[in-house]
Copies of this chain bind each other. A is one copy, B any other.
Amino acid sequence: MRLENRLRLGNSKKVTIMSDAIVKQIEEQGNEVRRLKGDKSSTEDAKNEAIQKLLALKLAYKEATGQDYAAPNARQSKPKKEEKPKEKKQQQEKKPDGKKQTLLGVGTKKDENYSEWYSEVITKAEMIEYYDVSGCYVLRPWSFAVWEAIQAWFDSGIKKLGVKNCYFPMFVSNAALEREKTHIADFAPEVAWVTRAGQSEMAEPIAIRPTSETVMYPSYKKWVQSHRDLPIKLNQWCNVVRWEFKHPTPFLRTREFLWQEGHTAFANPSDAEKEVFQILDLYAGVYNDLLAIPVVKGRKSEKEKFAGGDFTTTVEAYVACNGRGIQGATSHHLGQNFSKMFDISYEDPAKEGERAFAWQNSWGLSTRTIGAMVMIHGDDKGLVLPPRVAAVQVIVVPVGFKTENKESLFDAVDKVTKDLVAGGIKAEHDLRENYNAGWKFNHWELKGVPIRFEVGPNDLAKNQVTAVIRHNGEKRQMSLDGLSEAVKTLLDEIHDAMYQKVLAQRDSHLKTTTCMEEFKKLLDDKCIILSPFCGLPECEEEIKKASTREDGEGAQMGAKTLCIPLEQPKQELPSKCIFPSCSHAAKAFALFGRSY
């Protein structure tokens, strides 16, 4: 198996490198021939030798590639360039007060073109900067702060479970990468290879981790000598690279992304399986308790599970604007597949002379979470940040001041802000004098800050400030007495309201059917669908095909299973799988949907 793979990968690489090198030589030799032909002082011998060499090079090219040498234009096809948001001119809008106001907001409505809306929001809200390597993006502080909040929460959760952090190399040798057959089959097409250092070609190309099973498990083999060396519970926060050729989307599909990957090994399967679900609960917590997004916990189907593992569990969220499901994070039980491939084993204390193999899990959560958050909560005004991951929870803006009272008002704004910070709130003020209050309102709404405080002389006179809540636009007066505590309560209230809103949206699009025709209709109505399913990969493929829709607006992808929910519908499971021509019994209700 390994040899076959090496031949497959190895040869095609050599051929390409060779052909590239020969092409350059052919081009240079062609120039040389032309030069000699034009040079009256050159001898016939010199010309002939040059022509002979050119012909030999072309022959070598044909042997290496199986094709005749062709002109450069005919040879190269460049990958499609990704779309960047169009630079729009700042729009002018008539405000109710009759003044013209420069509008910073999003130029595209979410419901009209969610894809363009998304690009606009993430750039204008200063979450993402585009970059000159396709599929790679800059995570600016405004989005990275979300990641830091997730990191802090999840890291503390896994440490309570006894997981320790570590760091394994980013580079994988070909030999290690190819050790697990099923696994590598999944990742090989997307692996980025380092072949050169400085000006030297490497003796062996080295892969960049697409995930670290094959990086870590050779060490696990060394560390496990006895059952006493188990469990091993390690995690790392790192970057991984999957060089996908599909259209990239910031956060959601990127060639480099950040994640955590946990890799654990146990002496018995029940401890391992227990952990799979403990981690899944933490992942659900990231969505429910931090990002205010409801998720369905479930198992992945055979077709969708992690290659090389026994089973995969997942948390699945729903994106209303396009009706798609989105995988939130996955926790895999690898069984003994990897431990057998990598020989993570010890003398079985129960059976003398026999080897026992470790039971393993791996689990990961990535910066994709941030993309899901943007898609699910954002609105036509821009980003809407869930309070518990917001870099700024309260932005304090001075309003209604004149030259004579500016200083005292700014002092008051500063004091309010400092009190909030002292009270444990992430608060900032915006005292910039080159922008008016309206511009600031738009700016911080675009950036999705959960609460805006408007601090003006009238409110101050009443010992209060006006709070404007981002997600629903509600205004309320809040007393300066006990403000921090009241803000904390309000932030929790906002979190709950945001969660409930998304839950209601999701639930109104979560339908159950046993009829394939209804299934297709529901899918086009942006629903995710619970249907009886036999569990077979072939049948899932058929359902996907049957639900793929080609129409004037372009192809609509077919449905796949998002998961088999752990909590099954209360109604009785029909005996038959939903797919009409499937002859197998339904095993469970599966959740189907179009998906990221």
A positions within 8 Å CB-CB of B: 9, 12-14, 16-18, 20-22, 24-25, 52-53, 56-57, 59-60, 64, 76, 78-79, 129, 131-133, 136-141, 144-145, 147-148, 164-173, 175-176, 188-201, 203, 205-206, 208, 218-219, 222-223, 228, 234, 238-239, 241, 243, 245, 255-256, 258, 432, 434
Contacts of A173 in B (CB 8 A): 132-133
Alpha-carbon distance between A286 and B279 when the two chains are bound, in angstroms: 34
Asked if A197 and B192 make an inter-chain contact with CB atoms under 8 angstroms apart, the answer reads yes
Contact B138 A168 (CB under 8 A): yes
Minimum distance in angstroms from A236 CB to a CB of chain B: 8
- The interface residues of chain B lying within 8 Å CB-to-CB of A133 are 169, 171-173, 206
CB atoms of B166 and A138 under 8 A apart = yes
A138 touches B169 (CB 8 A): yes
Q: Assess whether A17 is in contact with B14, with CB atoms less than 8 Å apart.
A: no
A56 to chain B: which residues have CB within 8 Å? 52-53, 56-57, 60
Interface of A is mostly: mixed
Contacts of A60 in B (CB 8 A): 25, 53, 56-57
Determine whether the beta carbon of A169 is less than 8 Å from that of B137: yes
Q: B21, B193, B241: which contacts A18 (Cβ < 8 A)?
A: B21
A346 → chain B, closest Cβ, in Å? 14
Give chain B nearest CB distance to A54 CB in angstroms: 9
CB-based contact A13/B199 at 8 Å: yes
Q: CA separation between A165 and B143, bound complex, in Å?
A: 10
- The residue that A136 contacts in the complex, of B13, B78, B171, B199, with Cβ under 8 A, is B171
Say whether A196 contacts B193, CB under 8 Å.
yes
- Contact status of A24 and B20, CB under 8 A, knowing A171-B256, A194-B193, A219-B129: no
Contacts of A245 in B (CB 8 A): 197-198
A200 to B188, CA, bound (A): 11
CA–CA, A193 to B208, complex, Å? 11
Contact yes or no, B219 A138, CB < 8 A: yes
How far is it, in angstroms, between the C-alpha of A133 and the C-alpha of B64 when the chains are bound?
30
Q: Which of chain B's residues have a CB closer than 8 A to the CB of A166?
A: 138-141, 144
- Complex Cα distance, B14 from A195, in Å, reads 12
A206 to B223, CA, bound (A): 36
Complex: A16 Cα to B24 Cα, angstroms? 13
Whether the pair A14, B9 counts as a contact (CB closer than 8 A) is no
Complex: chain B residue closest to A191, CB-CB: B198
Copies, count: 2
Question: Nearest CB to that of A198 among chain B residues?
Answer: B189
Shortest Cβ distance from A196 into chain B, in angstroms? 4
If the complex has contacts A144-B166, A165-B141, A195-B196, are A201 and B53 also in contact, measured as CB distance less than 8 A?
Answer: no
**Nearest 6 pairs between A and B by C-beta?**
A56-B56, A197-B243, A21-B21, A136-B169, A141-B164, A139-B167
Q: Which of B22, B195, B434 touches A195 (beta carbons < 8 Å)?
A: B195
A73 to chain B minimum Cβ distance, whole angstroms, is: 14
Please give, as numbers and ranges, the residues of chain B lying within 8 Å of A145 by CB-CB distance: 164-165
- Which B residues lie within 8 Å of A53 (CB)? 56, 59-60
Chain B nearest CB, measured from A312 CB (Å): 23
- Contacts A14-B24, A20-B21 aside, 6 further interface pairs with beta carbons under 8 A come to A17-B21, A17-B196, A21-B22, A131-B219, A136-B170, A138-B168
Nearest-neighbour CB distance to chain B for A80, whole angstroms, equals 12
What are 12 A-B interface contacts by the 8 Å CB criterion? A13-B199, A13-B201, A17-B20, A25-B60, A76-B203, A139-B167, A144-B166, A170-B256, A189-B198, A195-B195, A196-B205, A239-B239
Closest chain B CB from A149 CB (angstroms): 11
State how many angstroms separate the Cβ of A463 from the closest Cβ of chain B.
Answer: 31
Query: Are A258 and B201 within 8 A (Cβ)?
Result: no
When C-beta atoms are compared, the residue in chain B nearest to A11 turns out to be: B199
With contacts A60-B57, A132-B218 taken as known, whether A191 is within 8 angstroms of B200 at the C-beta atoms is: no
In whole angstroms, what is the CA distance A472 to B560 when docked? 64
Q: Are B167 and A138 in contact, CB atoms less than 8 angstroms apart? A: yes
- Complex Cα distance, B243 from A201, in Å, reads 12
| Chain B residues, Cβ within 8 Å of A255 | 171
Q: Which of A17, A139, A169, A241 has the most CB of B within 10 A?
A: A169
Which residues of B lie under 8 Å from residue A175 when comparing CB positions? 132
Identify the closest chain B residue to A52 (Cβ).
B56
Q: Which residues of B contact A147 (CB under 8 A)?
A: 167
- Is A25 within 8 A of B64, CB to CB? yes
The answer, among B12, B132, B137, B432, for a CB contact under 8 Å with A199, is B12
A473: min CB distance to chain B, Å: 28
Closest to A17 in B: B21
Q: How far is the CA of A432 from the CA of B228 in the complex (A)?
A: 10
Question: Is B239 a contact of A198 with CB atoms below 8 Å?
Answer: no
Cβ 8 A contact of A193, one of B131, B197, B222: B197
Specify which chain B residues have a CB less than 8 angstroms from the CB of A192 in the assembled complex.
194, 196-197
How distant is A84 from chain B, measured CB to nearest CB, in Å?
A: 12
Contact check: which of B137, B144, B194 meets A165 at CB < 8 Å? B144
Measured in the bound complex, the distance between the Cα atoms of B175 and A21 in whole Å is 21
Q: Give the residues in chain B near A52, CB-CB below 8 Å.
A: 52, 56
